[in-house]
Amino acid sequence: MSRALLYTIVFIEGFCSLGAEVIALRRLVPHVGSSIVVTAPTIGFFLLALALGYAAGAKVAADYRRIVARNFLISALLAGVGLAGVSVDGMFAHLQPTWFAYLCFVAVVLCPLAWLLGQTVPILTNLMQTQRSGEASGMALYWSTLGSFLGSLSLSLIVMQWLGVSAAILACSSGLIVGVLLLSGRQPGMVALSLATLVTAATLNTRQTPTADTAYAEYVITDVELEGQRNARAFMVNKSLASLLDDSEPPHYTRYIQHLRKILLDDLGYRERNILVLGAGGFTLSHREPSNHYTYVDIDPKIRDIAERHFLHGTARGEFIADDARRFVATTERRFDAVVVDVYSSHTSIPSHLITLEFWASARKVLKPDGVLLANLILDGKLETPYARSLLHTIERVFGRCAVDVLHKGKPLANVEVACFASSQPGDQGVYSDEINRADVDRARAR
């Protein structure tokens, strides 16, 4: 086996193995979010399977090319079928609870793929016996790691951004098929199996239901039947309802958007104000609202075009900035009359770096002295869980006492609207008791 061919094969292995891991993390976002408690175990399981693959490859003593070609073919099938959107969605739809579906995905798709590809380098270094063992393994690992580096960057920053997740899956599957053909030559059986695998992967990954699928999210715009609404449509982001809109006059929106608009326009009477919206959704907060100036910040640069083309059927009102919400509030010099925080990666999952004390402090800094922060949270309706209490306490550690409105009190999960003012200050809270009751004094001071 020539040195050039060997380096090509291990490069493909590195490119596709880490590419598959990146794709798997992206596929999991709509179902389990992207928090550290999801990404860390996923990466850990992948590395464990890779280590076991190294050990298994070290035990192979013959038929080196045939075994690696077989591993590549099975891996191409696992990537093309197992990472396809329809497969992952079906797994999470039919296997409950969610944690069980996650473990099945890792055990059936991700770990076997990593285990098979992990065998590549230790197996193929047997074919480099003319070199020192250290040189052989070092150069093989160099080309494998270089492939991993280029795979992670090109698939996440180029392919997913411009062509979508399905195209990245096809790129990985096709790369592995190329490796199979290079290793097996023109053996009719391997050629036939390779073509069948490629056709299967292409079929599953070109029959996608999402309206758009980017590196950050899966978007679906679908018609819905709602009483009293005409031609209502829903803007779904990672299988979570982000916005509603219809063709009535005036249009109907989701209840929390109507609530936020009421606070800004009616309660606060904002006119000609600058409003920052972190998390664009369907851009409905500013829809047909010419009274104020809106600036939307969303991490996905494609979300505005998707919303305008498929949901709004027109131009979104306001300025759009593609950036991470925390980075924007930490670095901008601009100041706003209101900041609306409406950031979700899936279902009820707020990215963990957007709920910390430091984030809320940065959000407060971009407010004008008389500004207001409005946050849309999805919490339990009774605000009894540790997550709900800790999140609200974190916000009030920065802003002081905030107004809290639970919109769906009878449901297990509810939109909770929090309103905090930049003029407020956190402070120690007293307790009124029969022994010491300063209520009358405090009430008089508040007048």
Q: Is residue 429 part of a domain?
A: no
- CATH code, 100: 1.20.1250
Distance CA 16, CA 26 (A): 15
pLDDT at 345 exceeding the cut of 70: no
Residues 247 and 171 in one domain: no
Q: 26-40 b/e with 16+ CB inside 10 Å = b? A: bbbbbbbbbbeebee
Confidence at residue 144, expressed as pLDDT on a 0 to 100 scale: 92
Q: Is residue 446 part of a domain?
A: no
Q: Is residue 447 part of a domain?
A: no
Residues 248 and 201 in one domain: no
Confidence at residue 129, expressed as pLDDT on a 0 to 100 scale: 62
Residues 225 and 128 in one domain: no
Confidence at residue 433, expressed as pLDDT on a 0 to 100 scale: 74
pLDDT at 321 exceeding the cut of 90: yes
Confidence at residue 346, expressed as pLDDT on a 0 to 100 scale: 60
pTM score, whole prediction: 0.78
Please give the residue that has the higher pLDDT: either 433 or 106.
106
Residues 203 and 244 in one domain: no
pLDDT band, very low/low/confident/very high, at 109 (cuts 50, 70, 90): very high
Residues 294 and 164 in one domain: no
Residues 256 and 193 in one domain: no
Lowest-confidence region among 77-91, 148-162, 302-316, 335-349:
335-349
Q: What is the mean pLDDT of residues 140-146?
A: 91
pLDDT band, very low/low/confident/very high, at 30 (cuts 50, 70, 90): confident
Answer yes or no: are the C-beta atoms of 16 and 106 closer than 8 Å.
no
Q: Which domain holds residue 89?
A: 3-208
Residues 55 and 122 in one domain: yes
Position 426, amino acid: P
Residue with tokens 């960057």: 153
Please give the residue that has the higher pLDDT: either 444 or 188.
188
pLDDT at 348 exceeding the cut of 60: no
The domain boundary, picked from 180, 208, 236, lies at: 208
Confidence at residue 440, expressed as pLDDT on a 0 to 100 scale: 73
> DSSP of 279-297, one letter per residue?
S-TTS-TTTT-TTSEEEEE
CA dist 435 to 136, 432, 441, 442, Å? Answer: 82, 8, 15, 16
Q: What is the pLDDT of residues 213-237, one digit of tens each?
A: 888 888 889 999 988 888 999 998 8
Q: What is the mean pLDDT of residues 300-317?
A: 93
Residues 104 and 65 in one domain: yes
Q: Is residue 266 part of a domain?
A: yes
- Average pLDDT over the chain, rounded to whole? 90
Q: Is residue 222 part of a domain?
A: yes
The domain boundary, picked from 208, 233, 257, lies at: 208
Query: What residues form DSSP beta bridges with 293?
Result: 274
pLDDT at 160 exceeding the cut of 90: no
Q: Is residue 159 part of a domain?
A: yes
Residues 122 and 262 in one domain: no
Residues 202 and 225 in one domain: no
The domain boundary, picked from 142, 176, 208, lies at: 208
Answer yes or no: are the C-beta atoms of 80 and 203 closer than 8 Å.
no
Q: What is the mean pLDDT of residues 230-259?
A: 90
Residues 296 and 155 in one domain: no
Q: Is residue 431 part of a domain?
A: no
> DSSP of 74-133, one letter per residue?
HHHHIIIIITSHHHHHHHHHHS-SHHHHHHHHIIIIIHHHHHHHHTHHHHHGGG-TTS-H
Please give the residue that has the higher pLDDT: either 301 or 344.
301
Q: What is the mean pLDDT of residues 133-137?
A: 75
Confidence at residue 164, expressed as pLDDT on a 0 to 100 scale: 85
Please name the residues in contact with 287: beta carbons below 8 A apart, sequence gap of 6 or more.
245, 251, 253, 312, 316, 317
Residues 181 and 268 in one domain: no
Q: Is residue 445 part of a domain?
A: no
pLDDT at 128 exceeding the cut of 60: yes
Q: What is the mean pLDDT of residues 95-121?
A: 95
Residue with tokens 């670095």: 331
pLDDT at 304 exceeding the cut of 90: yes
Confidence at residue 409, expressed as pLDDT on a 0 to 100 scale: 82
pLDDT at 432 exceeding the cut of 90: no
- CATH code, 299: 3.40.50.150
Please name the residues in contact with 301: beta carbons below 8 A apart, sequence gap of 6 or more.
161, 322
User: How many structural domains comprise the chain?
Assistant: 2
